[in-house]
Amino acid sequence: MGKLTGFMEYPREKMRKEPVFSRIKHFKEFIHPRTNDRVRTQAARCMDCGVPFCNNACPVNNLIPDFNNLVYESQWKSAYHSLISTNNFPEFTGRICPAPCEPACTVAIIDKPVAIKHIELSIIENAFKRGWVKPKIVTKRSNIKIAIIGSGPAGMAAADNLNIAGHNVVVFEKHPHFGGLLRYGIPDFKLDKSVIDRRINILKQEGIKFIANCTVDGAYIKEHIFSKFDLVCLCCGAEEQRELDIPGIKNLAGVHYAMEYLVGQNKSLHDKKKNVKPLINAHGKQVVVVGGGDTGADCVGTAIRQGAKSVTQVQLHKKQPLERYVTNPWPNWPKTFNNSSSHEEGCIREFSYLTKSVLGKNKIEALEVQKIIWPDNEIESGQRNYKLSGKTKSIACDLLISALGFRHTLHNGLVKDLDLALDGRGNLLVDNFRSNNSRIFAAGDMVDGANLVVTAIDSGRKMATMVNEHLASI
Ligand SMILES: Cc1cc2nc3c(=O)[nH]c(=O)nc-3n(C[C@H](O)[C@H](O)[C@H](O)COP(=O)(O)OP(=O)(O)OC[C@H]3O[C@@H](n4cnc5c(N)ncnc54)[C@H](O)[C@@H]3O)c2cc1C
Ligand code: SF4
């Protein structure tokens, strides 16, 4: 374990965050790990409790107490090997995972939890700096060929594990660059795109082939893929967006989906040298973001960096309490108030508001919202369990961004062309990652619905295991 009395001696130390006034002037990452000595002190806070709830709360089941102990003992290389035994890409999760492991840490019962994500990022970035992260060259290959459709974290993790197992893996991606939502959805200030390039280069050196600008539909699978590959793994994400369906909104200029907005900004940063401007620019505008999730927060941070005149985020759900409800005890994920780093940067947050209509003739001028009343307790605050109040208000707006999340994977194209079965929520129906077509497996958001990077990695890894089991059985 770390230091026996570490959690009593040392306070939790978060990663270094650049102050708001300077970070909003650029799109670069602004959160960085502390020095190794300081991170060692953080690892010393681990109690190595008998049952590591952190390990269970982590979707890839990272061996957290083990790597904490190794960091405390300055055995950084062993800590790196422990970390990658469960997580293919800790450089992504160490930056953008919401870290469900931390509220489940036993120290969190009496104090602030061990800074697990901080330690994770330090381990992997140390490993890169010291040259320990090397391509794992496969010496013996099978004659099995596997096509992976989609290069997001699920596809990347599956490709990595299937390649290490010795199969011949090709990843097909419809966009010009790889990484899925890591590249096109998540803003650079949370995840610099060089971090994705660094990993893709390693995967290429390991022997995985990546093919860009290739939208795979049913016809392409039947004509080109089934003839050349033994199996297909679909990792196409959940791209069908939820619509903001309120009177007056159709065809009104100044109304956009979050993904149009974020993808435009990410592409413009990528093509900086070509001086490509973002498709939608919030500069000087009164921006209203509808939707209280992570995607909404990313739109807030982006609008602030683009120089918006004001940014307001409207959400249906109520402002959560600072402390847990009694019905939401440790080690569950806490349903408490969360101010993301984007919110710290200057945004008006409007809680418990239902969007009613938009004002404006050709171009949006305002959003009309109505206050709603939620029950006080956690249990009754189910999805739609609110009452309307009589109070309405109008929020001036010349750029409205709809960030209501995603319904499910796209049905048109691949799914319909191949008659793939869906579950009740519109996600791909699988049995042990295998679809109703015996040559097609699937993983990630396509199967789970919109989720997290770490759950997509986990899903890609587990699908690879199932593919290997299937291959071993034939
Ligand atoms: C704005 C935003 C912010 C987010 N922030 C976070 C965060 O901070 N932390 C976190 O953990 N999660 C976050 N998420 C969620 C996370 O990004 C996703 O859960 C994760 O990327 C899903 O991985 P995936 O591989 O299943 O799918 P995706 O990342 O969606 O990748 C799917 C890939 O398949 C490709 N594809 C689809 N169809 C085809 C086709 N027919 N042919 C070829 N290629 C195809 C797509 O182009 C894409 O590259 C965020 C999501 C969004 C939208
Ligand atoms: S991947 Fe996420 S949940 Fe798992 S240890 Fe890292 S930060 Fe925690």
Question: Looking at residue 430, what is its pLDDT?
Answer: 98
In this structure, the number of other CB atoms found within 10 A of the CB of residue 222 comes to 12
Using CA positions, which residue lies closest to atom 7 of ligand 2? 99
Residue 390 has pLDDT above 90, yes or no: no
Q: Residues near ligand 1 with C-beta < 6 Å?
A: 96-97, 149-155, 172-175, 180-182, 185-186, 190, 215-216, 235-237, 262, 294-295, 298, 413-414, 444-446, 450-454, 456
Question: In terms of DSSP H, where are the helices of 185-314?
Answer: 193-205, 218-220, 226-228, 258-270, 294-306
| Percentage above 90 pLDDT, the chain | 91
Question: Looking at residue 379, what is its pLDDT?
Answer: 66
Question: Looking at residue 376, what is its pLDDT?
Answer: 81
Q: What is the token pair recorded at 278?
A: 């973002």
Residue 383 has pLDDT above 70, yes or no: no
Q: Identify the band that residue 279 occupies on the pLDDT scale cut at 50, 70 and 90.
A: confident
Q: Identify the band that residue 474 occupies on the pLDDT scale cut at 50, 70 and 90.
A: confident
Q: What is the rounded CA–CA span in Å between residue 428 and residue 296? A: 26
Comparing 338 with 182, the larger pLDDT belongs to 182
Which ligand lies nearest to the CA atom of residue 333 in the structure?
2
| Percentage above 70 pLDDT, the chain | 98
Residue 305 has pLDDT above 80, yes or no: yes
Using CA positions, which residue lies closest to atom 19 of ligand 1? 452
Q: Which domains does the chain have, with CATH numbers?
A: 6-129 (1.10.1060.10), 145-239+406-473 (3.50.50.60), 243-402 (3.50.50.60)
Which ligand lies nearest to the CA atom of residue 457 in the structure?
1
SS3 94: helix
Q: What is the rounded CA–CA span in Å between residue 406 and residue 28? A: 27
Q: How far is the CA of 67 from the centre of ligand 2 (A)?
A: 12
Q: Identify the band that residue 48 occupies on the pLDDT scale cut at 50, 70 and 90.
A: confident
Q: How far is the CA of 442 from the centre of ligand 2 (A)?
A: 23
Using CA positions, which residue lies closest to atom 38 of ligand 1? 236
Q: What is the rounded CA–CA span in Å between residue 173 and residue 177? A: 8
The ligand 2 atom at the shortest distance from the C-alpha of residue 61 is 4
pLDDT tens for residues 120-129? 999 999 999 9
Asked if residue 331 has a cis previous peptide bond (ω within 30° of 0), the answer is yes
Which ligand lies nearest to the CA atom of residue 89 in the structure?
2
Residue 273 has pLDDT above 90, yes or no: no
